[in-house]
Structure 1
Amino acid sequence: MRRVPLRCLPVCVALLSVASCGRGGAADDGRAPGAPTGITAAAGSATSVHVMWNDVPDGRGGPAIRAYEVYRGPAKVTEVPGSQHMVDVVRLRPSTLYVFTVRARDTGGRLGPPSRAVRARTPARVAADRTSPTRPSRPAGRTVGDRAVQLSWSASRDDRGVSSYDILQGGVKIHSVGGGQTATVVTGLRPGTGYVFTVRARDAADNLSPAGAAVRLTTPGTDDGRGTAPTDFTATTHRSAGAYSVDLSWDPPDVDGVITEYLIQLDGRDATSLVWGGDPPRGRAHHSFYLGREAGAEHRVRLRARLPDGTWGGFSAERTVTTGANG
């Protein structure tokens, strides 16, 4: 299933076609990856700038992209996994002009050339600003094919000015746009899936408005969830201090964006949520949780990921474990 990076783009700008990030291709030709395209930067507050870019495709015959390096001027400020195409650069100074570039590094360690430079100026921070913007009003939306929606809203009011708008789906922030925008296109969605979008305004002091009214949209088509399920899922048990725990291992679903949360079901019921406190692990993931003290107890376990578009993906295969059977 072809995946498109989750992006929010101003309606007034033509959508860029993003190349599929397949992992196949010819043998390594020794060339470094190309420069990221479509880079933009917008101030999110007086101390942060949101930078996003298009993925660098693997069609040059070389290794896959391992990471993207983000630079502020000549200095590298952060690095994100190759599946991520946006980042909030924080701890900046108010009322300051910044210049950002992005470079791709492949799994062979080669660093590609920088993207074009983009500029963003952080707004001034006004002392003792505790007034939140008003909620965005008259939100509206429509589907644009089976993987994108167009959203619009009326501008919020703030005594010091709106710096940005946060776009949420199902209560999860999936992107932000500049304070001067009142429309956007969200891509990278799933066919045949229901979405609930809301918008919140943010000012330079990071005061947040209440969320606007929900916009409920369902993309056309069908999606059985198989392409978004964790794969190679395994489950075993071990005993420690007289109690049993289950040890899980899996490969994250192949989606564009970073997965930070999983829901684990035990015996058909939601048992626990796993949320990575920092950067999620790259590659195979592992987790253990408590089952009880009874030996010979049989349990069924499976899990699914919260995807970058804010929806839950498909469940992994279900595994059956018996306490005491293997440890």
Structure 2
Amino acid sequence: MQRPLAASLSTALALTAATVLTACSGPGPADTTPPATPTGLTAASGSSTTVHVMWEAATDDRAVTGYQVLQDGRPVKDLPATTVMTDITGLAPGSRHTFAVVARDAAGNTSPATPAVAATTLRATAEDREPPTAPRTLRATPDGTTAAVLTWTPSRDDTRVTAYDVHQAGVRIHTAPGTATTARLTGLRPGTAYSLTLRARDAAENSSPDSPPAELTTAPAPGAPANTSPRALAATSADGEITLTWTPPETGGPVTHHELHIDGRFATTIVWGAAPPAGRATYTFPAQAKPGTTYTLTLRARLSDGTWGDFSAPRTVTVR
């Protein structure tokens, strides 16, 4: 349980050596190769003033460092390489626009722009304060090492559902049209556990409650070891405390140490010693935050070779 490297000759030699070293340590060849054009560009309006733009990550001989989004041929957003989706806001209701994306590398080389795609914002409607119902029966199926397919039962709304937003640990990672009941997620990490939720949205930007979570673990990369994340992590809160329960990974021996991370930062090590509990493990700790605070929690186990295993799927909990 936790309490978890002769005068003129040498001078000439030194000067020669310095010249050689300078030549060897100088900058390498200039980077003149632009990134590839991003692929998979889509644009869809989820409200009367907003268009959601998404694309697949571009490739480069060194590294892509950012993207520029074009609206009607003009730059409107510069984004880091880690971002492959964005909302273009402040548009007029019922207006048609075209969108394209350009990739950039550290040397300033830019890719050709993607073929432009068009989207028309929704017509303005009367004031709508009623959110859609939560999507139901969300299911997630791994599709190789870096993708997954989601399916769900559609939500209901008093006007109409215009978009579905996929969230991972409280962060939106994908948006699908309001008519969709399936979506394919890309850019996931191999051998990683995810816990995904879905929200429906209408033209007035009212969002539904989250669907029940759907869990999946992507396939490991070829030659990678089996996933070693703790399974079925659950988190609850009551009386200012948070209680975690989970099933330790199967590592061929007892798992005596787990690391707890809160909001992506190390928090503490949970230690049981030589005799960890059999089956489900439980750990309770004071929240040290006011009620209503929401945390995202993950766990990983120390393996028998002394290394730390994979992180569990994240769980969010609100302090009560």
Instruction: Please report how far the alpha carbon of residue 64 of structure 1 lies from its aligned counterpart in structure 2 after TM superposition.
Output: 2.9
Task: Report the AA paired with residue 123 of structure 1.
Answer: L
**Aligned 8 A contact 2:136 2:154 in 1:** yes
Residue 288 of structure 1 corresponds to none
Q: Secondary structure at the match of 1:100?
A: strand
Residue 196 of structure 1 corresponds to 195
Instruction: Please report how far the alpha carbon of residue 161 of structure 1 lies from its aligned counterpart in structure 2 after TM superposition.
Output: 1.2
**Aligned 8 A contact 2:195 2:314 in 1:** no
Deviations 1:237-294 (A, max 9, x none): xxxxxxxxxxxxxxxxxxxxxxxx963336759999xxxxxxxxxxxxxxxxxxxxxx
Residue 100 of structure 1 corresponds to 99
Which runs of no fewer than 5 residues in structure 2 stay unpaired? 1-27, 221-225, 230-261, 271-284, 289-310, 316-320
Q: Secondary structure at the match of 1:53?
A: strand
Residue 163 of structure 1 corresponds to 162
Task: Report the AA paired with residue 148 of structure 1.
Answer: A
Task: Report the AA paired with residue 163 of structure 1.
Answer: T
**Aligned 8 A contact 1:190 1:223 in 2:** no
Which one has the bigger helix percentage? 2
Task: Give the superposed CA RMSD.
Answer: 3.1
Structure 1 segment 170-185 matched on structure 2, within 5 A: 170-185=169-184
Residue 40 of structure 2 corresponds to 38
Check 1:146–1:173 CA distance in 2 against 1; reply closer, same or farther (3 A cut). same
Aligned length: 214
Check 1:33–1:265 CA distance in 2 against 1; reply closer, same or farther (3 A cut). closer
Task: Report the AA paired with residue 216 of structure 1.
Answer: E
Check 1:266–1:131 CA distance in 2 against 1; reply closer, same or farther (3 A cut). closer
Check 1:108–1:200 CA distance in 2 against 1; reply closer, same or farther (3 A cut). same
Instruction: Please report how far the alpha carbon of residue 170 of structure 1 lies from its aligned counterpart in structure 2 after TM superposition.
Output: 3.2
Residue 152 of structure 1 corresponds to 151
Deviations 1:169-206 (A, max 9, x none): 23332221111111012233334433222211000100
Structure 1 segment 226-265 matched on structure 2, within 5 A: 263-265=264-266
Instruction: Please report how far the alpha carbon of residue 39 of structure 1 lies from its aligned counterpart in structure 2 after TM superposition.
Output: 1.2
Report the TM-score, using the length of structure 1 for normalisation. 0.57
Report the TM-score, using the length of structure 2 for normalisation. 0.59
Instruction: Please report how far the alpha carbon of residue 29 of structure 1 lies from its aligned counterpart in structure 2 after TM superposition.
Output: 5.4
Residue 83 of structure 1 corresponds to 82
Q: How far apart are the structure 2 equivalents of 1:56 and 1:190?
A: 16
Task: Report the AA paired with residue 214 of structure 1.
Answer: P
Instruction: Please report how far the alpha carbon of residue 72 of structure 1 lies from its aligned counterpart in structure 2 after TM superposition.
Output: 0.5
Task: Report the AA paired with residue 169 of structure 2.
Answer: G
Q: How far apart are the structure 2 equivalents of 1:193 and 1:103?
A: 29
**Aligned 8 A contact 1:44 1:178 in 2:** yes
Structure 1 segment 267-282 matched on structure 2, within 5 A: 268=269
Q: How far apart are the structure 1 equivalents of 2:126 and 2:162?
A: 16
Task: Report the AA paired with residue 140 of structure 1.
Answer: R
Task: Report the AA paired with residue 264 of structure 1.
Answer: R
Q: Secondary structure at the match of 2:189?
A: coil
Q: How far apart are the structure 2 equivalents of 1:69 and 1:129?
A: 34
Check 1:266–1:163 CA distance in 2 against 1; reply closer, same or farther (3 A cut). closer
Matched, 1:217 2:219: no
Percent identity for Structure 1 against Structure 2: 39
Q: How far apart are the structure 2 equivalents of 1:264 and 1:29?
A: 36
Check 1:103–1:146 CA distance in 2 against 1; reply closer, same or farther (3 A cut). closer
**Aligned 8 A contact 1:68 1:102 in 2:** yes
Check 1:37–1:263 CA distance in 2 against 1; reply closer, same or farther (3 A cut). closer
Which runs of no fewer than 5 residues in structure 1 stay unpaired? 1-25, 226-260, 273-306, 313-327
**Aligned 8 A contact 1:191 1:223 in 2:** no
Task: Report the AA paired with residue 103 of structure 2.
Answer: A
Q: Which of structures 1 and 2 has the bigger CA Rg?
A: 2
Q: How far apart are the structure 1 equivalents of 2:112 and 2:219?
A: 39
Structure 1 segment 281-320 matched on structure 2, within 5 A: none
Q: How far apart are the structure 1 equivalents of 2:116 and 2:268?
A: 52
